[in-house]
Amino acid sequence: MNHEIPDPESCNDMADVRVGVDATDRELMALLARRYGYMRAAARIKADRDTVRDEGRKAQVIQNARADAENRKLPGTDIAQIWDALVESSIAYELEEWDRLRS
């Protein structure tokens, strides 16, 4: 099995595909860790707990993800649903952090 991470176009077998998927999942996890780090920062910075949930910002983030997905020829509706779940999880995490920092 090839130990380098293949580009999708250069995959020759399912072992290559799995290596690429697993590596991509690790990269996504690192990006999610950074994103949730920003939620910790927001919890620290925001003085008012009621400002954690911002429906206008949520809609903007989801629309940005949908548009970016569509520009990349990815399924925009599916990506928007993933981002909705991501944003909701981020809000819940930020609320927990906000409470933890002030307990």
Mean pLDDT calculated for residue range 69-94 = 98
Cβ–Cβ < 8 Å for 49, 35: no
Extract the tokens encoding 3: 């130990």
Q: How far apart are CA 64 and CA 60, in angstroms?
A: 6
CATH, residue 50: 1.20.59.10
**Whole-prediction pTM:** 0.91
Domain containing 76 equals 8-101
Position 3 scores a pLDDT of: 63
Indicate if the pLDDT at residue 2 is higher than 80: no
Number of domains in the chain: 1
Instruction: Give a yes or no: residue 94 inside a domain.
Output: yes
Mean pLDDT calculated for residue range 47-53 = 97
Q: What is the DSSP string of 18-54?
A: HHHHHHHHHHHHHHHHHHHHHHHHHHHH-S-GGGS--
Do the annotations mark residue 44 as ligand-binding? no
Task: Determine the angle formed by the axes of helices 76-101 and 55-71, rounding to 10 degrees.
Answer: 140
Do the annotations mark residue 72 as ligand-binding? no
Do the annotations mark residue 102 as ligand-binding? no
Do the annotations mark residue 18 as ligand-binding? yes
Mean pLDDT calculated for residue range 85-93 = 98
Average pLDDT, the chain: 96
